[in-house]
Structure 1
Amino acid sequence: GEVKEQEVFMGDFPLMTEKGTFIINGAERVIVSQLVRSPGVYYTEQLDPSGVNIYGATIIPNRGAWLEFESDVNRNIYVRVDRTRKIPVTVLVRALGYGTNSQILELFDQDPSIQLTLERDNSDSEEEALVEIYKRLRPGEPPAVESARSLLETLFFDPKRYDLGNVGRYKLNKKLNHGVLYQENEDGTKEFIRHLTKEDIIASIRYFLELMNGERLPDDIDHLGNRRLRSVGELLQNQFRIGLSRMERVVRERMTIQDVEVITPQVLINIRPVVAAIKEFFGSSQLSQFMDQTNPLAELTHKRRLSALGPGGLSRERAGFEVRDVHHSHYGRMCPIETPEGPNIGLIGSLSTYARINEFGFIETPYRKVDKEKGIVTDEIVYVTADEEDEYVIAQANAPLDEEGRFINNRVNARYGSEILVVPVEEVDFMDVTPKQVWSVATALIPFLEHDDANRALMGANMQRQAVPLLRTEAPFVGTGMEWKTARDSGVVVIAKNSGVVERVTAREIVIRTDDGDVEKHRLLKFSRSNQGTCINQKPIVKRGQRVEAGDIIADGPSTDMGELALGRNVLVAFMTWEGYNYEDAILISEKLVKEDVFTSIHIEEYECDARDTKLGPEEITRDIPNVGEEVLKDLDERGVIRVGAEVRPGDILVGKVTPKGETELTAEERLLRAIFGEKAREVRDTSLRVPHGETGKIVDVKVFSRENGDELAPGVNELVRVYVAQKRKISEGDKMAGRHGNKGVISRILPEEDMPFLPDGTPVEIVLNPLGVPSRMNIGQVLEAHMGLAAKALGMHIATPVFDGASEKDIQDALLKAGLPGSGKTKLRDGRTGEYFDNEVTVGYMYVLKLAHLVDDKIHARSMGPYSLVTQQPLGGKAQFGGQRFGEMEVWA
């Protein structure tokens, strides 16, 4: 009867950083939220080829056996328990304790379908029914009433084996409106009943009968009221549960084997399965992704991503058209625009700007409440889930109101369920908060979104995430007002925690003397590498002696300008053809953009080299490399690692390393002699880390880890060296550029400044785009942006034009006229080569242009002598293998 207590270590657990990421093996990862079918009961309706409706119902638990009902052509009702063969539904009802036919008919109000099903039912009593079910579930075992009863009990009524979860219980009660809600515990607290009850099953059959008689409607599986989000916590909890249940099995085994006298908790418990389950989840789950860190927007969007894929979700092959389509319940919850192009379209989405997630995992969106008595739109904000929303009439955000908040018009546009109607104002229950609430962050950053076709807006939203941070950032002349909030919430800028006065500012840190007299220090990141190889650099935007308030932005990060998101640059664009150089979306740019480093970006590549133990002895990192001249080693330090600041070219040595070369195994005597005399002439070969083909740059950082210094390294590794090489990449032919409206293109030629078309005042334009890229693609937003940008530049101000609530055509014309520019936005241009006027007027304006991560330097490739395939003796393919170009079918014809 002795009780032994011990503290048992249960393993490590990654913690979330304040930016919402996890650091796994030194790399930042994001756990994406998963959209899954909510547990609960679902009713379906299908048309049979014979013209009869066939109905189905499924009770889906969080974990446990499914219970499915279905009707056939003759209106008989069958039930399947846990995907087995179907049996008449009355067998299940009997097994629940309603033994006689009269009891069953009384239970369901003498329903004709139940009478038909009873004729098919061969059992007469509860016992027979139990045996019948047992035969289906456990074929081949001798049926006994008691084992049958306990089997049914454990399948559905045992909290250990069957779990609806709080969500499932909530959905079930809401659907069947009956009150099996709580059970009282001994201490008087109430708790959800998380398993099924007899009442649940009977109520779900009743609802099924009402559906067959046309009194109820079937459910829509793609409705966001029937899909919920599993976020990090829940996904991790599920993994943890799996780990614990595996551990439990081990504990039970050990308890039976070991002697009771010597047993301790430490001996019984093996934490391996728990640690392994968590490791596996973070390391290799489909939902644990390498964070997209190309720019701040990419980071933010990645954390707001919703995926229908992953364990327990859909698979690409099985997902049909309906799941992927935009649904009316997405309004204000999931962005209808931002989704990948390709096989994942519609399966991966993005959370809308104002959406939030409630305790059950359903997405809610805010609305302003309308006081129906007074007919006033109040400022009270109500968050509504998708299934609640279907009961209300909701007016659009831009419906005009007077000062008191009354609707000016008698009839307004409103949504009710999936319909858009014009309704009298008396019927309106809620009003949208803002037009922004429908869209995701990336989509809400596109100005004049309302003038763009949805397909191009999708590309625009996706391409903003691929913009490379530039050397010199510049906020857009024409924005949407979301730039500031996006930059701030992405976590790349530094924010003052307390109010105070700036005491010291250097490139590496900002020190603030707070009002309480404390010192607040902020370390800045300098030229560190992001997951995608772009450069993360923070620079202070406050001066010494300046007063700052808590929450102020005190340092810019990558792609931000004075605390605003700045993914690209404002450049002067003309829409005209030029000698065919902008045929098929190609882009013609001025050499000025190269000379003045307008689109120059910094890229940092990481190379690593490890010294391992081999069979023939340890590898060694050294400066002493066989058959290599001093000229090659000039930038290596005494331990054989390149110095910071050195410029490197392809083939240069970054880390000198030698590996023992095994002609012969040494005998013990030889080893002894070598050990005594320190014989250095042993056979080694050069396995140094060299700069790969086609890469150049400057060394910005070197990190050396070794066993001797107590660093944790992989088994068999004695030393590890990481070298960071930075390159400045100017814009060049073959780079991909894009605007924010899905207008993308590749640079085809860089023209000298003096040859570019120029304005009447002599200013040469910086980019020439093809006007034919606009009409067929229907992204007119880019033209309006160019006009607005021209006016903004002339007036010396930045303009915010929020999506679906922005500047009208008249506003743009007024701005142009106010700036003293022609109202048409067009100008007579001259040819830079001849000085003559072009035939027609040309639209010229300032457009915000991004440089995307598809850079020609990463793609261009040339091969000399290289590796060949062993089997076919043909050169390998691909840049990574130093391969050749394929001489393909069409080349053979030629």
Structure 2
Amino acid sequence: PGVVFGYEEKDHMHTARIIPDRGSWLEFELENRKELLYIRIDRKRRILATTLLRAIGYETRDEIIALFYKTQKEKITEDIIAEGTLNNMYSAKTYYGKGKDEKLVRAGERLIPTTLDTLLRAGINEIEVIDFEAADSLNSTVIINCLDKEDFPKDPENPFKDEPSREDAIIKVYSVIHPGEPTTLENAQNDISTIFFDPRRYDLGEVGRYKLNKKFEYEEEITDRVLRKEDIINTMKYLIKVFIGEGVIDNIDHLGNRRVRSVGELLMNQLKIGFARMERIAKERMAIKEADTIRPQDLISIKPITAAIKEFFGSSQLSQFMDQVNPLSELTHKRRLNALGPGGLSRERAGFEVRDVHYSHYGRVCPIETPEGPNIGLIVSLAIYARVNKYGFLETPYRKVINGRVTDQIEYLTAMDEEKYNIAQAGAKVNEKGEFEDKYIAARHRGEFLTVTPQEIHYIDVSPKQIISVSTSLIPFLEHDDANRALMGSNMQRQAVPLLKSEAPRIGTGMEWRTANDSGVVVKAKRAGKVVYVSSTEIRIKPENSDNLDIYRLIKFKRTNQDTCFNQKPIVTEGEIVEKGDIIADGPATDMGELALGKNVLVAFVPWMGYNYEDAILMSEKVVKDDLFTSIHIEEFEVEVRETKLGMENITKDIPNVSEEAFKDLDDEGIVRIGAKVRPGSILVGKVTPKGETDVTPEYKLLNSIFGEKAKNVKDTSLRVPHGSEGTVIDIKRLRREDGDELPPGVEEVVKVYIATKRKLQEGDKLAGRHGNKGVVARILPEEDMPFLPDGTPVDIVLNPLGVPSRMNLGQILELNLGWAADKLDIHVSTPVFESASEEQIHEYMKKAGLPLNSKTILYDGLTGEPFKNEVTVGVIYMLKLAHLVDDKIHARSTGPYSLVTQQPLGGKAQFGGQRLGEMEVWALEAYGAANNLQELLTVKSDDMTGRAKIYEAIVKGENVAMTGIPESFNVLVQELRGLGLDITIYDEDNNPIPLTERDEQIIASSSVKLDPNK
């Protein structure tokens, strides 16, 4: 809501809209060619702007002119008339002759010599004219043109009538809003006074009023949420200013015109719909039921409201499953801004402008962190210090500068407030007194970069990193990376899997502690005190001035939404004194209270026998042996016990047609024991479902009555471990309806089994640095074969040097240099973004550590012991293991489920599908003339149902493979053609018809159809 000014190119007109939260839209259109201003109410027929002004109470030309123009007095003499100085000026008032009806000149009329003569003869020697040039006066004749264009009904009783009256205007406006309705003056007057000025019919909303106040800079704050006459007049004034080039068109992508709609507001909108439905139902019931027997509960149905809430949280596009891979991904997900969803844009409609970085994003939205692909620029992240104000606009903090001196006073500005000021950057040199050291300072103003004196500066940035998001602020040496790679680096940190042993980065940015602290995965002390007890599951602290112990229970090996492991471990010892807010236990991917997503590893940049071609990574076996990149993953499997039409399902160990071996880990009830090692196909929960019984013989009935359920016809519907999963059972949860657990209708019991797997690093896993340098492990080499340093230390990872120059992410090289020095000196270095360590500082640390300044050293090949020809860049880089694990992607199928219509195998790992052989793959096989392979792939390995059954039988029996049949997709095509009314029959080489369906067989059997070769 608010007022928006724009320009429509195809109609050559400037437009303005006053959009309320609830009520009628008021649109203004200024035709550029004719210089006329029109108004539309609710997209109806347009009327002249002056007609609306008359209808709302400005009755005469004099009043309307006075609203828009300033005046000045001019003398009239015969000499002045002769000189013509007053020609082409406009009168600001109406001047009358002897009678009140005789108008010598009307307000807004152009003065010509004959008119001036008439005025002078009537004894008027001073006239008020419009002063277009004065301050606060419009320098345009648009309003005058509208007054001249007005039409009005002639009045036989008043032949001197030359302008519409207020009544004429009211009736005109009413007839446009309600076309075809009979009009009475009283009705029309009431309707016009309520349509914009009555709170029951019109509400600008808090935001709409705030926007109008900001736009028109009212002296005193207006709190009325209905329109005021001043709002309409000011909108017209500003629109005319835009037309003559004195005002600016609103940019829809400016953050001053975009607001954040939070959960509460979105939920409120859903609830409004729910309540409206509830009200309608209640009114309908009131009309039907008898008043004396009625009860409130008979009238009011809460279903619409519960449905609205359920729909909002259950199926809204904006109600998302929390990303819990690691603490950073959780924190970033909560700080995300989304332009999609209900009431927003759609991916298809969003153009380049909406997605692009805008100058108003500075300090409010991160220009780097956004997804790659169709959502780029539509989903963004909140900048570090940004906050949302009560109207939903984003604000960012600045330090105030008074008379060229930087103060410690911090002010939050919205994008609109910022437009008026010159803002210096945080890197400007300031002395201890807060004075700028340079004569001229680089400053920002409305997206322009200026050089100004200290006196002209109004604000200064609070920090160099205020423009970026949390995720981006964790990339050291960010300013040396290309933006595209920084984007990948930001996004990939969110996919880092928490490792078995977390290790803080040697080179950080100083944001690691704050991120871990704010993410909520670590445990903080509520009060200061002394640690009196520590175990892996509990910490007890005795506060300083209280006898009650503070007990902190830690979360152990819990599954997250993404199947990673959430585990907390204490980092304090008994007897230690802690302060309020101190971190006392680490969570996943944190180390001593700092975010630790990966590992510091020794890296060499050298091509090695093609194993690191195209971003592939060569790994040392030592990394696997030492469990550097080992992570724990926990999967949840659940089974429901339902009430079926044929009876209850049962959890039992007594499953038909299953070997004893399969039961060895099940308890008496048929549920797997905790600690059991399970593989694909292992039974987790034994369950049987009653089968539909055919005609029951008396003997069967007798058996049934003697042996009870056992002899009954049941089928095995046990929960088994799916393909590609294995591990150890770590937990079992049973939820029963009889124990009071809430379960969906028809479900009597739910059993959940949790399986944990230790995943070591293996070929095919994806690793990445923090600079967008990602790759896949191509080979794990024995430690002794890895290239080694002159002192005999083998490197952990070998990367390809070609991955650096074209990608322009040099941050990784600086990290490698400083990381090596930090590792040798056993220190952790913090180099904040945009204030990173300089080359001189890095060299200083390299010298201290006794390392070569350029980080290059002779490297020896582990296989031959020979040195490589040239020196090689070596150092320590922080590498992350990403959630794209080869175990989750690898997939194989022999036989499995088929699609119902086409009878072809399903696709994808989740459906246990096959590998698609598409059009282009067929061309490749055709090019090689591999006819038999091709026939096999397109028939028995796909949708030839009889052929695949025969071939399976032949393989089992060890016989030669039979010939192929007709693929099902051919039958589908024939049936489709038959559906179009074309009779199609297929014949063999002997001209005998080939049956495709059972119906074909019957038709062929009943008629001896044969094709005549002579026809």
C-alpha change, 1:820 and 1:260, in structure 2 (3 Å) is same
Q: Which amino acid aligns with 2:592?
A: M
Per the TM alignment, residue 377 of structure 1 is displaced from its structure 2 partner at its CA by: 1.5
Q: Which amino acid aligns with 1:78?
A: Y
Question: Which position in structure 1 is the counterpart of 2:390?
Answer: 359
Q: Which amino acid aligns with 1:44?
A: G
Per the TM alignment, residue 132 of structure 1 is displaced from its structure 2 partner at its CA by: 4.0
| Cα distance per residue 1:400-435 (max 9 Å; x no partner) | 222222222222222122112222222222111110
Question: Which position in structure 2 is the counterpart of 1:381?
Answer: 410
Q: Kindly indicate whether the alpha-carbon contact (under 8 Å) linking 1:181 and 1:193 is maintained by their aligned counterparts in 2.
A: no
Q: Which amino acid aligns with 2:5?
A: Y
Corresponding position: 1:218 with 2:249: yes
Q: Kindly indicate whether the alpha-carbon contact (under 8 Å) linking 2:56 and 2:193 is maintained by their aligned counterparts in 1.
A: no
Q: Which amino acid aligns with 2:209?
A: R
C-alpha change, 1:641 and 1:506, in structure 2 (3 Å) is same
Per the TM alignment, residue 831 of structure 1 is displaced from its structure 2 partner at its CA by: 0.3
Q: Which amino acid aligns with 1:244?
A: F
SS of the counterpart of 1:812? helix
C-alpha change, 1:497 and 1:97, in structure 2 (3 Å) is same
Q: Kindly indicate whether the alpha-carbon contact (under 8 Å) linking 2:529 and 2:542 is maintained by their aligned counterparts in 1.
A: yes
| Cα distance per residue 1:772-807 (max 9 Å; x no partner) | 111111110000000010010011100000000110
Q: Kindly indicate whether the alpha-carbon contact (under 8 Å) linking 2:704 and 2:711 is maintained by their aligned counterparts in 1.
A: no
Corresponding position: 1:82 with 2:42: yes
Question: Which position in structure 1 is the counterpart of 2:437?
Answer: 408
Q: Which amino acid aligns with 1:94?
A: R
| Cα distance per residue 1:370-425 (max 9 Å; x no partner) | 231xx431222121121111211111111122222222222222212211222222
Question: Which position in structure 1 is the counterpart of 2:468?
Answer: 439
Corresponding position: 1:292 with 2:317: no
SS of the counterpart of 2:878? strand
Question: Which position in structure 1 is the counterpart of 2:687?
Answer: 657
Q: Which amino acid aligns with 2:495?
A: Q
Question: Which position in structure 1 is the counterpart of 2:981?
Answer: none
Q: Which amino acid aligns with 1:584?
A: E
- Give runs of aligned pairs for residues 457-468 of structure 1, distance below 5 A: 457-468=486-497
Per the TM alignment, residue 570 of structure 1 is displaced from its structure 2 partner at its CA by: 0.5
Q: 1: distance between equivalents of 2:811 and 2:183?
A: 72
686-695 vs 55-64, greater mean Cα deviation: 55-64
Normalised TM-score (structure 2): 0.80
- Give runs of aligned pairs for residues 266-285 of structure 1, distance below 5 A: 266-285=297-316
SS of the counterpart of 2:255? coil
Q: Which amino acid aligns with 2:360?
A: S
Q: Which amino acid aligns with 1:485?
A: R
Question: Which position in structure 2 is the counterpart of 1:886?
Answer: 916
Q: 2: distance between equivalents of 1:149 and 1:658?
A: 77
Question: Which position in structure 2 is the counterpart of 1:165?
Answer: 205
Q: Which amino acid aligns with 2:216?
A: L
Question: Which position in structure 2 is the counterpart of 1:710?
Answer: 740
Q: Kindly indicate whether the alpha-carbon contact (under 8 Å) linking 1:180 and 1:193 is maintained by their aligned counterparts in 2.
A: no
Question: Which position in structure 2 is the counterpart of 1:45?
Answer: 7
Question: Which position in structure 2 is the counterpart of 1:634?
Answer: 664
Corresponding position: 1:469 with 2:512: no
Q: Which amino acid aligns with 1:67?
A: L
Q: Which amino acid aligns with 2:712?
A: R
Q: 2: distance between equivalents of 1:668 and 1:251?
A: 59
Q: 2: distance between equivalents of 1:571 and 1:400?
A: 38
Q: 2:26 aligns with which of 48, 53, 67?
A: 67
Per the TM alignment, residue 146 of structure 1 is displaced from its structure 2 partner at its CA by: 4.7
Corresponding position: 1:57 with 2:16: yes
More helix by share: 2
Identity %: 64
Per the TM alignment, residue 596 of structure 1 is displaced from its structure 2 partner at its CA by: 1.1
- Give runs of aligned pairs for residues 710-729 of structure 1, distance below 5 A: 710-729=740-759
| Cα distance per residue 1:312-350 (max 9 Å; x no partner) | 222222221111111111111111111111111111111
Q: 1:544 aligns with which of 548, 558, 574?
A: 574
SS of the counterpart of 2:13? strand
Per the TM alignment, residue 669 of structure 1 is displaced from its structure 2 partner at its CA by: 14
Q: Which amino acid aligns with 1:728?
A: K
- Give runs of aligned pairs for residues 586-665 of structure 1, distance below 5 A: 586-664=616-694
Per the TM alignment, residue 453 of structure 1 is displaced from its structure 2 partner at its CA by: 0.7
Corresponding position: 1:842 with 2:866: no
Question: Which position in structure 1 is the counterpart of 2:508?
Answer: 479
Question: Which position in structure 2 is the counterpart of 1:877?
Answer: 907
| Cα distance per residue 1:134-179 (max 9 Å; x no partner) | 4444445445555544544554333234321112111102212336
Question: Which position in structure 1 is the counterpart of 2:536?
Answer: 507
Corresponding position: 1:342 with 2:373: yes
SS of the counterpart of 1:380? strand
| Cα distance per residue 1:651-702 (max 9 Å; x no partner) | 1111111111103388999999967973431111001111111211111111
SS of the counterpart of 1:592? helix
Per the TM alignment, residue 238 of structure 1 is displaced from its structure 2 partner at its CA by: 2.4
Q: 1: distance between equivalents of 2:40 and 2:882?
A: 54
Per the TM alignment, residue 227 of structure 1 is displaced from its structure 2 partner at its CA by: 1.5
Q: Kindly indicate whether the alpha-carbon contact (under 8 Å) linking 2:54 and 2:165 is maintained by their aligned counterparts in 1.
A: yes
Q: 1:857 aligns with which of 868, 887, 895?
A: 887
Per the TM alignment, residue 215 of structure 1 is displaced from its structure 2 partner at its CA by: 2.5
Question: Which position in structure 2 is the counterpart of 1:308?
Answer: 339
Q: 2: distance between equivalents of 1:869 and 1:256?
A: 53
Q: 1: distance between equivalents of 2:353 and 2:63?
A: 42
Q: Which amino acid aligns with 1:69?
A: F
User: Which of 1 and 2 has higher RCO (CA within 8 Å, sep 6+)?
Assistant: 1
| Cα distance per residue 1:21-57 (max 9 Å; x no partner) | xxxxxxxxxxxxxxxxxx21111235558xxx62111
Question: Which position in structure 2 is the counterpart of 1:490?
Answer: 519
79-88 vs 684-693, greater mean Cα deviation: 79-88
99-108 vs 192-201, greater mean Cα deviation: 99-108
Per the TM alignment, residue 235 of structure 1 is displaced from its structure 2 partner at its CA by: 2.1
Q: Which amino acid aligns with 1:173?
A: N
Q: Kindly indicate whether the alpha-carbon contact (under 8 Å) linking 2:703 and 2:711 is maintained by their aligned counterparts in 1.
A: no
Q: Which amino acid aligns with 1:96?
A: I
Q: 2: distance between equivalents of 1:139 and 1:605?
A: 65
Corresponding position: 1:700 with 2:740: no
Per the TM alignment, residue 206 of structure 1 is displaced from its structure 2 partner at its CA by: 2.0
Q: Kindly indicate whether the alpha-carbon contact (under 8 Å) linking 1:734 and 1:855 is maintained by their aligned counterparts in 2.
A: yes
Q: 2: distance between equivalents of 1:882 and 1:46?
A: 54
Question: Which position in structure 1 is the counterpart of 2:479?
Answer: 450
Q: Kindly indicate whether the alpha-carbon contact (under 8 Å) linking 1:636 and 1:642 is maintained by their aligned counterparts in 2.
A: yes
SS of the counterpart of 1:892? helix
Question: Which position in structure 1 is the counterpart of 2:554?
Answer: 524
C-alpha change, 1:685 and 1:88, in structure 2 (3 Å) is same
Q: Which amino acid aligns with 1:156?
A: F
Q: 2: distance between equivalents of 1:242 and 1:153?
A: 28
Q: 1: distance between equivalents of 2:573 and 2:528?
A: 15
C-alpha change, 1:635 and 1:138, in structure 2 (3 Å) is farther
* Paired residue total: 842
C-alpha root-mean-square deviation of aligned residues, in Å? 2.3
| Cα distance per residue 1:436-491 (max 9 Å; x no partner) | 11111001000000101111111111110111111110000000000000000000
69-78 vs 546-555, greater mean Cα deviation: 69-78
Q: 2: distance between equivalents of 1:683 and 1:297?
A: 53
Q: Kindly indicate whether the alpha-carbon contact (under 8 Å) linking 1:475 and 1:565 is maintained by their aligned counterparts in 2.
A: yes
Structure showing greater radius of gyration is 2
Q: 2: distance between equivalents of 1:135 and 1:478?
A: 73
SS of the counterpart of 1:785? helix
Question: Which position in structure 1 is the counterpart of 2:602?
Answer: 572
SS of the counterpart of 2:515? helix
Q: Kindly indicate whether the alpha-carbon contact (under 8 Å) linking 1:169 and 1:181 is maintained by their aligned counterparts in 2.
A: no
Q: 1: distance between equivalents of 2:697 and 2:584?
A: 66
Q: Kindly indicate whether the alpha-carbon contact (under 8 Å) linking 1:224 and 1:362 is maintained by their aligned counterparts in 2.
A: yes
Question: Which position in structure 1 is the counterpart of 2:936?
Answer: none
C-alpha change, 1:725 and 1:134, in structure 2 (3 Å) is farther
